[in-house]
């Protein structure tokens, strides 16, 4: 596989880099933030900037506002956004529900939701997991009973990222109890302002609030908000999860994180005592770099796999599995480099008095710890590592 950029791609890379740098220089909105700690305003601002440039949803077909870029251009774009410290696009609209709507939804649903996803005027969250129905998603119990022109929804969703400021939630709901569990699930769009919707915060171990519980008590949802056919939601959910798992690999973010570790290690090597074990860090850094390179190759294969092919169906699984474990290993190395400086405390942060680098590294310590703690969940969301291995065993080994 030839990974060298063509002259056209190099020109494209320069254009994207210049635009990202120029746009981020005009504002400090969400600089180097991520999905877990950026605000609604920061997320909305970045979506507005992208949309004004015509880049609101790079993976969508041009007829719905997409870019018609090549796969290499999409990879370059993601890398340059990460390099420039841009906020993360919320994936729930552009990557997840948007493609489901334009692939399976009615013309009315497309007209209602796709423009507002593109311009950032409406934010989305995902209603999949429930207490007792996480990895075994087909066992979900939130019900949607047809009542005339509406569905009456009752149940609970959990671990719902950004539900506290989302405008809409796309939900898997049970519309039938007959047959296999997967056969009675439907895909429903619900306005978060509907009477009977209640959101309760979940604060995670890193001190952030991005997760929530969502309760539905006799919530009336127009039947026109059903995507596709009733009881076919499992098909649409699998379609969506393929996009989610590919995104979770985040090779550009991993490479940036490794760069930060290298910079911290270099600073410590120059300023710390001779006993500082920089060589061990350098060895671990080299090993992780090789793993990121291998993951990048796998991601390139996944992005160029023919639609509907065996590779397009199976490669998102190891991408998610390997990417999330890499994320954890990189954050663990960062914590081991800064050691006690990652523990938040007053007036005792990391830094060498009199050096210009000290303040920035003092600030990095608690952020590194926060990233390590939040990353503990990465091998769970989007399908646990155990589930990914089980599915791969069925695909590859026929087990």
Mean residue pLDDT of the chain comes to 84
| Residue with the larger pLDDT of the pair 358 and 303 | 303
- pLDDT at residue 365, rounded to an integer: 62
| Residue with the larger pLDDT of the pair 224 and 248 | 224
Residue range 131-153: mean pLDDT, rounded: 93
Domains of the chain: 7-89 (no CATH), 124-231 (2.40.110.10), 249-397 (1.20.140.10)
> Beta strands 124-127 and 168-174: pairing type?
parallel
Cα dist. 7→10, 12, 13 in Å? 5, 9, 10
Which residue is listed with tokens 């507002």? 116
- pLDDT at residue 121, rounded to an integer: 96
Residue range 62-71: mean pLDDT, rounded: 90
Pair of tokens at residue 232: 């076919």
- pLDDT at residue 362, rounded to an integer: 47
- pLDDT at residue 364, rounded to an integer: 61
3-state SS class at 360 = helix
- pLDDT at residue 356, rounded to an integer: 36
In sequence order, the 6+-apart residues with CB closer than 8 A to the CB of 29 are 41, 42, 45, 46, 87
Residues 248-261 pLDDT 10s: 567 777 887 888 88
Pair of tokens at residue 14: 């320069």
Inter-residue contact 242 to 310 (CB < 8 Å): no
Pair of tokens at residue 349: 């942060």
- pLDDT at residue 242, rounded to an integer: 67
- pLDDT at residue 35, rounded to an integer: 77
| Of 75-79, 120-124, 191-195, the least confident | 75-79
- Other Cβ atoms closer than 10 A to 247: 20
Largest CA distance in the chain: 76
Highest mean pLDDT among 128-132, 216-220, 378-382: 216-220
Reply yes or no on whether the pLDDT at 57 is more than 90.
yes
- Other Cβ atoms closer than 10 A to 115: 15
According to DSSP, the residues that pair with 145 across neighbouring strands are 152
- pLDDT at residue 335, rounded to an integer: 84
Supply the pTM of this predicted model: 0.78
* Confidence label for 290 from pLDDT (cuts 50, 70 and 90): very high
Residue 230 Cα to chain centre, angstroms: 28
| Residue with the larger pLDDT of the pair 9 and 382 | 9
Residues 152-191 pLDDT 10s: 999 999 999 999 999 999 999 999 999 888 999 999 999 9
| Of 53-62, 72-81, 285-294, the least confident | 72-81
- pLDDT at residue 355, rounded to an integer: 36
- Other Cβ atoms closer than 10 A to 159: 21
- Other Cβ atoms closer than 10 A to 274: 4
- pLDDT at residue 105, rounded to an integer: 97
Cα dist. 328→118, 321, 325, 333, 347 in Å? 32, 11, 5, 9, 29
């Amino acid at each position: 596989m030839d990974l060298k950029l063509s002259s056209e791609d190099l020109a494209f890379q320069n254009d994207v880099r210049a635009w990202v740098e120029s746009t981020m220089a005009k504002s400090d909105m969400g600089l180097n933030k991520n999905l877990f700690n950026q605000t609604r305003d920061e997320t909305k601002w970045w979506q507005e900037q992208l949309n004004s440039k015509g880049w609101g949803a790079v993976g969508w077909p041009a007829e719905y506002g997409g870019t018609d870029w090549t796969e290499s251009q999409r990879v370059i774009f993601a890398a340059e956004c990460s390099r420039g410290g841009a906020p993360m696009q919320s994936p729930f609209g552009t990557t997840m529900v948007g493609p489901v709507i334009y692939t399976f939804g009615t013309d009315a649903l497309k007209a209602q939701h796709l423009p507002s996803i593109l311009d950032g005027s409406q934010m989305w969250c995902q209603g999949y997991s429930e207490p007792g129905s996480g990895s075994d998603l087909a066992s979900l119990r939130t019900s949607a009973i047809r009542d005339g022109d509406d569905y009456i929804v009752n149940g609970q969703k959990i671990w719902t990222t950004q539900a506290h400021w989302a405008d809409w939630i796309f939900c898997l709901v049970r519309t039938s109890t007959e047959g296999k569990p997967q056969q009675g699930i439907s895909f429903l769009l619900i306005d978060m302002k509907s009477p009977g919707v209640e959101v309760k915060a979940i604060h995670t171990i890193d001190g952030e609030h991005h997760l929530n519980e969502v309760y539905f008590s006799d919530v009336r949802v127009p039947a026109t908000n059903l995507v596709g056919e009733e009881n076919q939601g499992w098909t649409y959910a699998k379609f969506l999860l393929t996009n989610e798992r590919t995104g979770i690999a985040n090779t550009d973010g991993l490479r940036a994180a490794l760069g930060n570790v290298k910079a911290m290690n270099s600073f410590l090597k120059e300023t710390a005592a001779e006993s500082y074990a920089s060589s061990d860090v350098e060895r671990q850094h080299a090993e992780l770099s090789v793993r990121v390179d291998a993951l990048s190759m796998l991601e390139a294969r996944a992005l160029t796999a023919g639609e509907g092919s065996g590779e397009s169906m199976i490669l998102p699984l190891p991408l998610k599995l390997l990417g999330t474990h890499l994320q954890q290993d990189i954050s663990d190395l960062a914590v081991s480099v800064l050691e006690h400086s990652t523990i938040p405390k007053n007036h005792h942060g990391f830094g060498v008095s009199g050096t210009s680098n000290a303040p920035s590294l003092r600030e990095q310590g608690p952020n590194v710890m926060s990233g390590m703690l939040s990353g503990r969940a990465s091998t769970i969301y989007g399908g646990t590592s155990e589930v990914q291995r089980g599915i791969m065993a069925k695909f590859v080994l026929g087990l």
